[in-house]
Amino acid sequence: MTCREFTERLAEHLDGALPNRSDRAVRQHADGCRGCQAYLAQYRATRAAVAALVDWDELDSEDTLELSRLAMSTAARVN
């Protein structure tokens, strides 16, 4: 699995919506990729922050992925 595939499947992984094989691939990639480990941590923090503001169930995977990308972009500019 590539880093791009990881980020594309991350929302579904966290929502428990991936088939077992794909879910396992996401976990294995995260275990071996420091960049994606950092992305996952930031993604989870973003989801937690958004969840505090809105009802998470009203967002779909594309919404959460876009919010995460926005947060990562903002964090990169700040750091």
| Predicted confidence (pLDDT) per residue in 26-73, tens digit | 999 999 999 999 999 998 888 888 777 766 566 666 766 677 677 666
pLDDT at residue 1 tops 90: yes
DSSP string, 30-54: HHH-HHHHHHHHHHHHHHHHHHHHS
Domain that holds residue 40: 3-78
Q: What is the pLDDT of residue 77?
A: 56
Q: Which helix (H) or strand (E) holds 58?
A: none
Which amino acid belongs to residue 77? R
What's the domain count of the chain? 1
| The residue count for the chain | 79
